[in-house]
Amino acid sequence: MKFSKLLFFFIGLLFINSCKKESKSEVSNSDLIAIESKKLNDVFQKTFEEDVAESPMMQTRLGQKTKDYGKWDDYSDANAQKELEKSKKRLAFLKDSVDTSLLNESTLLSYKLAKQNLENNISDFKYRFHNYPLNQMHGAQAEIPAFLINMHSISNTSDAEAYISRLNNMKLLFATIEEQLNTRKEKGILPPKFVFEKIIDDSKNIITGLPFDNSKEESTLLNDFKTKVNTLDISDIEKNDLIKTASTALLNNVKPAFSSLISLLETHQKDATTEDGVWKFPNGEAFYNNALQRTTTTTMTANEIHELGLNEVKRIHDEMRVIMNTVNFKGDLQDFFKFMREDKQFYYPETNEGKAAYLKDAVALIDTMKSKLDELFITRPKADIEVKAVEAFREKSAGKAFYQRGTPDGSRPGRYYANLYDMKSMPSYQMEALAYHEGIPGHHMQLSIAQELEDVPMFRKLGGYTAYIEGWGLYNEYLPKEVGMYSDPYSDFGRLAMELWRACRLVVDTGIHAKKWTREEGINYYTTNTPNAKNDAVKMVERHIVMASQATAYKIGMNKILALREQAKKSLGNKFDIREFHDVVLTNGPVPLTILEELVNKWVASKS
């Protein structure tokens, strides 16, 4: 009896323990997913903070004022090598230390994106010199002054001293950039001749005016510093001391930095050629094919992209002919292009009043579009937007329009910049499409919503895939038409003209970099097939040349978003809600087009 009782006791104990283990296993499985997901997200946050801590300029962009507020980033190749090793260690951690079966859906997506980014960074390191650090679109000669003007705020004396520190550190910064330029020259990577004149002019503009010469007007940077300091609640003596110290920094460090850079550029200019495509680089063809994959996040070849462009140009031309008939225009499409280029009714005056009127009308368009957002979107950005003209010192070489995201805390709004240097390049019939692309519902909504996402790692909030970002921008040139915008047929023509422009980009980018087109052949393709001014065509072709593949992203991204939308509508029928579709596109942050397709398909399946 005793043995039987003892046996039953142990069997009972084993049964109880077994039940406990089973219950613990059930609980711990979901708990484990939450724990492991949090652990990985903590790692992502830690690595993001490490990266920000090593980038004084990123800190400023994020609105952070730290002990590094007076410093610049490190552009040296030694730092690039250090970043490579960091990427290798992070990739090894993701591969060896993370069990993806224990991650929730959002964290698994973060894992995939982080892993892919690291793999791409490591794979592409061999191409790190296959670019032009200074060109008419980007580069320290314009972006460093623009950074000080637009990013470096001055709220107190310490901020002003940090601004002066950055002025004093500019000589060292530019020495590193000169080193980068010399390395590329040794490898046979020099911009074409036309680039040099533009970046030399930009550089000279910065060191023109007081205190650099005896002209009556202040230089761009001195004017910016004085304007900011004069708003401080300090004595006039303190203000004057700060301005005097800044003037000394401009003379002793900024002027030598730009003068040395100009001298080097003039030397390199002598060896530059008129060869435009990256086919001239070492392993240029492989580099361009890789660049297309990174830009479009697809496997499309240069030939496939070229053919897509040709077909899209033909389709859009046909749609333009419909509008031409609507407005009772007599003549062919080329005649209509000429009319749109030359008729004064479509252009603001080349005066300060004309430029002010353009900005005022652009603000009105954005405000009107704001009133339509409830029909199209569930999630709305908290951040505000403002419209600004591109600053005078860089307007001659800058692009037609662009968007600059605000700070995550809302202290600096998002900004839509319109380039009003040449009002003939900013026709009224295109301003609707431009405002929707750069402002609302385009880049401002996409980038601001991404920044404001919760429970998503910062690298996803601030990351970027060009095809996704610019595809969204171009898609949103079209979207307002569906809620009654573009009531003027000429504005609708302008919308098509902007889409046509992006279709031409597919043809010309691949033409220059894969088919060895010349700069002149590219310009001729644009002027023949679009209504845009020749100055637009020149700027665009020169952009293709210095930013290989970048311009292919717009049309490929737009086409993919439209295709996914049509596919979802077909599958869901009356269950399709465009607001929910846009939420899927926007509330995961920037993603490759392949991942976007997975997200949309998953949403469709959940509703089916």
Q: Would you state the pLDDT for residue 22? A: 41
pTM of the model: 0.88
Instruction: Look at the block and give the residue holding tokens 């009107």.
Output: 368
Distance CA 194, CA 265 (A): 12
Euclidean distance between CA atoms 25 and 16, whole angstroms: 14
Parts of the chain with a pLDDT under 50: 1-25, 27
pLDDT recorded at residue 324: 97
**What tokens appear for 478 in the block?**
């079209």
Q: Please answer whether residues 242 and 164 qualify as being in contact, where contact means their C-beta atoms are separated by less than 8 angstroms.
A: yes
d(C-alpha 547, C-alpha 539), whole Å: 12
**Which residue bears the tokens 């949103």?**
476
Please say whether the beta carbons of 581 and 568 come within 8 A: yes
Phi, psi of 377 (to 5 degrees): -135, 150
What pLDDT score does 393 carry?
Answer: 81
3-state SS, residue 164: helix
pLDDT of residue 563: 98
Q: Where do runs of H (alpha helix) occur along 54-156? A: 56-61, 77-97, 105-123, 140-150
Give bridge partners of residue 389 from the DSSP assignment: 418
Q: pLDDT value at position 535? A: 87
Q: Give the pLDDT confidence score for residue 201 in this predicted structure.
A: 95
* pLDDT for the residue 24: 40
